[in-house]
Structure 1
């Protein structure tokens, strides 16, 4: 089949993970959740007792992390030094700390290199995150910014977490994290050549269809 690299960026709660995963299935492609990589190395840093205010220590922890992430869209699996952390990296304590790693430029450089290596190892892949369209894979065959209104994003994240978080906790996980991460990467406005898909008023299937249409249009151009 034709080689294709699809890059998808977007803010928290925009649906980029679930939509990108489904797009990968329909394209018979691999799937890379780069956000899970940041969460995994954050879990590793916390588990190792790393001082997250020490930029050098954080970068060192990230470089030392033995990280495995599944690229099968039907198998969600993340390991650090052989330990399955697939569920643990979604816990609130990781969500609250991940920006300390995501805004560390040396840590980002390390993870970008790993992400590029994973993408290069696959003929067909959909990679999603916050800087895929501009930094990790700026030459991707299709580049998409998936966005949604603040209200929609908070509602979706609340549903995803099973209603276990208060409104204040959701705002911390979604809006506050986006504000911190946006200091090092822009994932709210599409760069030149990047197609925007606004899912605010779309259901899941409509969003997947819109993303696939955008991929087809760019891949043919």
Structure 2
């Protein structure tokens, strides 16, 4: 007998979370995927004016405060400095940070790097997500894993009237957070906080640490209340 799904019931908190969570993944993905040129910083400085677009956690407030505080007359200089910091942290053989899950977890826990990246690719394929990788990014780069979550979060929001599809997307996100992203994103955030003094990157690190854990709790809580009848 086919399962039936009752209409979704959302609390006001859940409605706000469902509408805004994609933005949390997007801001993290944007700043961790490429050097923050003037257009990117200007984009998110504008978004910071929109209440709730950037999660208002401790790290989120730090990031918002920093973006808003950049003086207009120093905007170009600050953007150049933050782009140079991105290069130092994430680019080239001498990069301070390891930005790919398989390599990070091989270093920190002795994980099988090939098996790790193969599983990530399989999950993307199973969920019909294909990335347009312009710079040869690895599938398990922190930014692509965050973008995968953003895509599914936005899909879940747009499919909220289709219970089975929405629940399937929720399960995929819970599984990916538990088996991949949260296995290394929080240690990655801790290393980033130690590696940089930039309020941009320390704010992003704190936001990464706080947001993923909160989002998983919210997903689980919502999923537990939506079990099929």
TM range (shorter): under 0.3
TM-score, normalized by length of structure 2? 0.24
TM-score, normalized by length of structure 1? 0.25
Q: Tell me which protein shows more helix as a share of its residues.
A: 2
Q: Tell me which protein shows more strand as a share of its residues.
A: 1
